Each structure stands twice: as C-alpha cells, then as structure tokens.
Amino acid sequence: MQFGGPDSLDAVEPFLYNLFCDPDIVEFPLAFILQKPIAKYISWSRAKTVSIKYGEIGGKSPIIEQTAKQEKALQRALDQVTGENEIFVCTAMRYWKPFTSEVIQRLSGMGITDVVLLPLYAQFSVTNAASSFHEWERVTKRFGVSFNEKRINEYYENPLYISAFNERIDSALHRFANPENVYILFSAHGTPVNLVERGDPYSHQIKKTMELIMESRIHRHQYSLAFQSKVGPRKWLTPTTDDTIVKLISEGNKNILVVPIAFVSDHIETLHELNIESREIANHNGVTQFEVCEGLNDSPLFIRALTNISLEAFESM
C-alpha cells in the first residue's frame, strides 16, 4: 500500500482531487456534504503550481517507478524463500493508479484468500496506513468480498530498516569534504497538531526512528528533527524544515545533510521540496554544502526488511 502519484502532468489535478477527498486527510465540519466541491476547487487552484513542480522533476511522480522497483524486488526475494507462485506481490495506490479497487478486483478474480496488507509507511498515522486500510475496508464492503487479512501497522524499529537508512546516510556523507563536521537534519512529513493531541502515534514513532539511527551511529554528529509539507490553515508540527535550515546556518552549521526520514521512496517532497526549494533557501542563507539523502527506494537492506516482515506476517496468519 502506497500513496501513489500522478503519472503525467494531466494527472496532477485528478490526483490532487482524490487526495483532498480523503476524509482521513482533510477534516472540517459538514465534510460529508462539502468535501467533494471543496476538493474540486482546491485541486483546480493548486494544479498549475504543482504541475510546474512535477515538470521540474521529470513530468510525473517518481513514486510510481520506485514503488514498481520495490514490488519487483520484494517479489524476487519472496520467490527465493518460498518458491515461485506461492506469494503474489502487487501494489494498491491510495490516490492514483493502480487504485485499491482495481487491486481488490484482481485479487478476487485470482481466487486469493490470504492477504497481508503492507503499507510503505514505516510509521503509523491516520493519514497514511489508516487511510489505506479504511479505503480497503470501504472497497471490499462495496464489492462484497473478504479476505483472511493480516495488517502491518508499522515497522519503524525494524533493525534492517534502520540499517538501510544508515547505509544511505553513509553514502551521502561521502559527498562532503569533512564528513565529521556535517549536521544531520531529519525531515519528516508533518501532521496537524490536533492529530497528535488525539493520540496519533506518528510523530513519536518518527522521533524513535531518528534516535535508533543515531544510536547506531554512536551520536557522532549533531542532529535534529523538523517537519515539512504543511497544507491548510491548521497548526502543524514544528519546527519547519526550512526555518530550521535558516537557524542552523545562522548558528554556524554550514554543512547540512537532510535525511527524509518519513518516506521510503523519492518523490516530489524529496526531489523538489527538499532538493530544490529547501536547497535554494540554504544557498540564499550562505550554506557551504547542502545535500539531501537518497530515499530508501529499492535498497537491498530495505527489501530484506520488507521480506522478513511479510514472511512473519504470513506465518502468524
């Protein structure tokens, strides 16, 4: 399970419409009446600006290609353990193709009975895994189908997942002349503060992931956590990534490595929001070197983590 992304510039507006129609993402009074017209207006008003950003990173969302690579790598890894045709891997996107409804129809037509729902979000939130689960529930109910299910809520403490991040960080640090003098800034997709107040565990799990990464690095670098991608007028988690970058530079931290900790694949929020927009802010404020860590994508260590998580889930069914 993954968010998905537009596969062309023409798909940007309908993708945004699907996103803003999600009741787990956008909450407001009378949403059951007004959400669709408001989503239509927001997607229309934002489509041009967002399309320009996608145009600057290749004209479509990289999450499509990266998720396909992850799917194929996981399928190969599972085949090696269980034999071919024992476990079938497919992707259900939340806001774009292949939609959850398409995947459920496909699985039902194949006669699949046992399903492990594996979100490509390591930390659990109502805005990520829960949203995908809720869509799964709505669609299976609408189609009148059911499966023997095992749901993976989170895996933010998985040792191989942590190791995969450290491998990416090591690779990025090699791009600096003096790696020991680099400040590591972890950047996570933010959420509204009221979600945290209502018990959403995401922000706490993000912090735990960061601490596990740095514990394994013996805290050799200064580091901190910031949040990006704020949407709408509500109060979101702070500090923001861009404000933190400005503050770090003003305090003398001239070599900064940004680690996108909440994402398992590169997409617009890493390749544009961080690598273009935040880079411009850093350069404007006098940074010496600014780097953004590559996403986990199809990292062999990350695929091994997903393989082990999947097998453990099947064994417990």
DSSP secondary structure of 71-83: HHHHHHHHHHHH-
Q: Tell me the C-alpha to C-alpha distance, in Å, between residue 121 and each of 125, 132, 155.
A: 9, 10, 8
Residues of the chain with confidence (pLDDT) below 70:
28-32
The angle that helices 62-82 and 300-315 make with each other, rounded to 10 degrees, is 60
Name the 3-class secondary structure at 96. Answer: coil
- Assess if CATH 3.90.1150.10 describes domain 159-292: no
Burial class (CB in 10 A: 0-12, 13-18, 19+), 156: buried
* pLDDT value of residue 29: 62
Backbone angles phi, psi at 234, to 5 degrees: -65, 160
pTM: 0.95
- What own/partner pairs with CB < 8 Å and gap ≥ 24 does 159-164 have? 159/305, 160/301, 160/302, 160/304, 160/305, 160/308, 161/122, 161/296, 161/301, 161/302, 161/305, 162/209, 162/212, 162/213, 162/216, 163/216, 163/301, 164/296, 164/299, 164/301, 164/302, 164/305
Q: Specify the DSSP class assigned to residue 180.
A: G
- The residue extents of the domains of the chain are 159-292
Distance CA 223, CA 209 (A): 13
